[in-house]
Chains A and B, each alone.
Chain A
Amino acid sequence: MKSTPHHAAWFFFLMVLPVILIVSFLVVYPTIKGVVMSFQNYTVFTFWRVRFVGLKNYVEIFTDSDFPSVLLNTLIWIAGSVTLQLILGFILALLLWRPFKGRGIYAGFVFYPWALSGFAIGLVWSWLLNGTFGIVNDVLKKLHLIKENIHFLSDPNYAMLSVILINIWYGIPFFAIMILAALQSIPKEVMESAMIDGAGPVRRLFSIVIPYIKPTLLSSVLLRIIWVMNFPDIIYGTTRGGPAGSTNILPVYMINIVFYETNFSKASAVGVIIIAILLVYTLFYLKLTSYGEMEF
């Protein structure tokens, strides 16, 4: 029997139906539910008398005197973390590009932090950087680099810098892995002919390497910014947004609303704000980088 286009369409639909159902259950439903909840008064104490409250939760968030500093902290957190992760990850990938003895073992150590839980990393670093008992202060003192302990996580001047440094330590392997994979796809002949033509390392980097791996770089930066923005683990494990809100970023702000105010609706409203910011950012980023017109 000859299959008609109508039958083919049904067949394809049936094939993708499981995926549609799974995605709907795991992504679409929670998103819609979250948006709906953000307009309700869904708290632990009102589970049985939930009602719509209009924009009340949004008004509370936007009129919160801490909210502007939360936004600024989020921006600093993303910019500081991703920029340095990218630069250092790039350097690391370049170092690992050329084969050398023990490269596999070395790469294993370098990529290790990426395999750890962000929250566990936060807890470990919170003791390492502890201003009273921390080993980092002890080492710096023994090396005569400091005279008095530095309060890495309790001094607002150092707290954000400290959590960003922890995040950089954690996130470098991601860029290193991605960039290394892209570097390995550059044809050797292209590099060799550039060398024969007399192109130096800097010229080769900017004229061949970077243009070649540009799609990887752009997609990695896009993804990483989204992940870092949604990554409260390290901050929650170290400072919980403190001291005095100096490391309070949007997802930490959201978690604290759930934990301390037990207000799921207000937290959902923060979640919707995060989605909106990321949506605007992604569209702007893709437009700016002409990502859709790129050849892969």
Chain B
Amino acid sequence: MIIEPVFKFSFFLFKKRSMEHKKLESTIFPEVQIQNCIIYTSSLSLEVSSMRKAFLIVLVVSLVTLSFSVTLNMIQVFTSPERTKILETIIKKFEEKHPGVKINLISPPYETAYQKIYTMVSTRQPLDIVEVGDWSLSALASMGGLENLEKYIEKWEGKDYLIPGILEAARTYKNTAYLLPNAVYVKTLFYRTDVLEKYGIKEPPRTVFEMYGMARYLTRPEINQYGYTFRGKGFPTAFIDLIVTSFFDDIDPNNMYLTKDGKIIWEDPRAKLGLELYVRLYKDTAPKDSINWGFDEQVNAFASGITPLLYQDPDTLGLLKNSLAPEKFATAPLPVGPSGKAYPTFGFAGWGIVSYSKHKDLAWKFIEFFNSPEINAYWCKEYGALPVDKRVYEMDPYFSSEKFYGWKYMFDHPETYQFTAYPLWNERWSEWNQFQQDTMQKVLLGKMTVDEVLKKWAEFWREAGIK
């Protein structure tokens, strides 16, 4: 894009100058005109030589120009057409502010994104900025693929406005920040106000048993009406664990799969009660097909009203914006278990810089720009996430609107909603997701019992070295 006008301009200058030169010659020396005709062929070769010179000049100019333009390669994880559009808008704004800088956004499909990133980083493929989620942080950092961002964060004025706990969360791996989170993801209960009202229900469920009862009451397969939005595939880990751990009152705040006294939760009798309720939710209140549902199917079923109770992250708000009228749904805190507690996790995502990037400072400039209050507000509002900058909550009334009631209530009641963390640092974490999904499906289909699966899960974590 830069080369083309430069080339055209140089060629124009060259042409103009040679024409003026010839005109001057013929005016002063008439015989030159004849001579010109005679030596026409040789002048052609001269012109070619001049053109070659001009071309060389253009080439040098272009190379010099190019040497000042930089392309940053950036890869996202949670790809969707809507998300890509929002990211492209932000990139455009950044490019306008920084002439000569181009950002090449790579958008692999979500379900293969982690794999692609791991491969690209391990094999040192051209990459500068990488999306790092809580689920991929340890893997990428342990393979030496991420730059330590502490030196940048220290000098960054925005660090004083970050919401409490977010930097600590970013320092999960070796107490070092390898990413700057730009959004927080916490699951809450989404419910369809219109569907619940239609069946005479005014309040969302407060406990998991209330939720089961309500979902069962709503379930009428003959009219394709069900209660609970089940998740059967595509990382159902959080959905299983939120129900199971709500039966506990002593989950380790640093490890969801351990109790405070260091026992693996899957060996505890309370896990059996929780998992039995989870199985009942599938068998009694969800479409049988939901064993095959991932995120898209869940949101689709919720938006169409088939399943009016949904556990999901705030990015669902972004998707519902286009498919459901705002007055038809609301959020509520996660239903608590018999312990009177629930154990949500604090999910986060942000951008990191790959350790072998040649443009680390420029990459940081982009990350800094992305985390500026205006861009953070735009990103979280459009995509649907909880902002990490405190100023955004004051700046934009959207984030204190009633749509955020579920999250607000949970953050305001830390004695009930005790945030914990997944053992994401464990190398077998991604294997666990697939293993838990497959074995859970076997239980749901009656090919394995709850006792058998709990035994297998406990064995898995013992072998993986959770303690």
Contact = CB atoms under 8 A, between A and B. Distances in A.
Interface in A119-175: 130-133, 148-149, 151, 153-156
Interface stretch (B58-66, B151-159, B266-274, B286-294): B286-294
Chain B CB count within 10 A is highest, among A245, A259, A262, for A262
Given A132-B301, A154-B288, A244-B447, 19 more contacts: A45-B142, A47-B143, A132-B224, A132-B289, A132-B290, A132-B297, A153-B292, A154-B290, A154-B291, A155-B288, A242-B438, A245-B441, A245-B442, A259-B111, A259-B115, A259-B434, A260-B430, A261-B430, A261-B431
A259 B112 contact: yes
Interface residues of A, number: 27
Given A44-B119, A131-B288, A153-B292, A243 B139 contact: no
B123 A47 contact: yes
Nearest to B117: A44
A139 to B, nearest CB: 15
Interface in A225-273: 239-240, 242-245, 256, 258-262
- Nearest first, the 6 closest Cβ-Cβ pairs linking A and B are A131-B289, A260-B434, A244-B441, A154-B292, A44-B118, A244-B442
Nearest to B431: A261
B427 interface: yes
A259 B139 CA distance: 14
Contacts of A153: 289, 292
A153 B292 CA distance: 7
A264 to B, nearest CB: 9
Nearest to B234: A240
B254 interface: no
B304 A133 contact: yes
B233 interface: yes
A185 to B, nearest CB: 44
B79 interface: no
A262 B224 contact: no
B159 to A, nearest CB: 31
B287 A44 contact: no
B221 interface: yes
Interface string A41-82: 000110100000000000000000010000000000000000
Interface of B: 111-112, 115, 118-119, 122-123, 139, 142-143, 221-222, 224, 232-233, 287-292, 297, 300-301, 304, 306, 427, 430-431, 433-434, 437-438, 441-442, 444-445, 447
Contacts of B431: 260-261
Interface string A91-110: 00000000000000000000
Chain B CB count within 10 A is highest, among A44, A66, A133, for A44
Contacts of A243: 232-233, 291-292, 441, 444-445
Interface of A: 44-45, 47, 66, 130-133, 148-149, 151, 153-156, 239-240, 242-245, 256, 258-262
Contact of B224 (A149, A151, A245, A258): A149
Nearest to B112: A259
30 contacts: A44-B118, A44-B139, A45-B142, A47-B122, A66-B438, A131-B287, A132-B287, A132-B290, A132-B306, A133-B300, A133-B304, A148-B221, A149-B287, A151-B287, A151-B289, A153-B289, A154-B232, A154-B291, A242-B232, A242-B437, A242-B438, A243-B445, A244-B442, A244-B444, A244-B447, A245-B438, A259-B115, A260-B430, A260-B434, A261-B430
A261 B433 CA distance: 10
Contacts of A245: 438, 441-442
Given A44-B139, A149-B289, A262 B447 contact: no
Contacts of B290: 132, 154
Contacts of B118: 44, 262
Contacts of B292: 131, 153-154, 239, 242-243
Given A44-B118, A44-B143, A130 B289 contact: yes
A262 B112 CA distance: 11
Contacts of A130: 289, 297
B233 to A, nearest CB: 6
Contact of B445 (A239, A244, A259): A244
A45 B221 CA distance: 47
Contacts of A45: 139, 142-143, 427
A239 B224 CA distance: 22
A260 B433 contact: yes
A66 B437 CA distance: 14
A256 B430 CA distance: 11
Contact of A154 (B115, B122, B289, B306): B289
A245 B438 CA distance: 7
A239 B438 CA distance: 12
Contacts of A240: 233
Contact of B434 (A44, A133, A256): A256
Nearest to B440: A244
Nearest to B443: A244
Chain A CB count within 10 A is highest, among B118, B222, B291, B301, for B291
A127 to B, nearest CB: 9
Contacts of A259: 111-112, 115, 434
A54 B450 CA distance: 36
Contacts of B221: 148
Contacts of B447: 244
A130 B293 CA distance: 10
Contacts of A262: 115, 118, 430
A244 B119 contact: no
A54 to B, nearest CB: 20
Contacts of A44: 118-119, 122, 139, 143
Chain A CB count within 10 A is highest, among B221, B433, B441, for B441
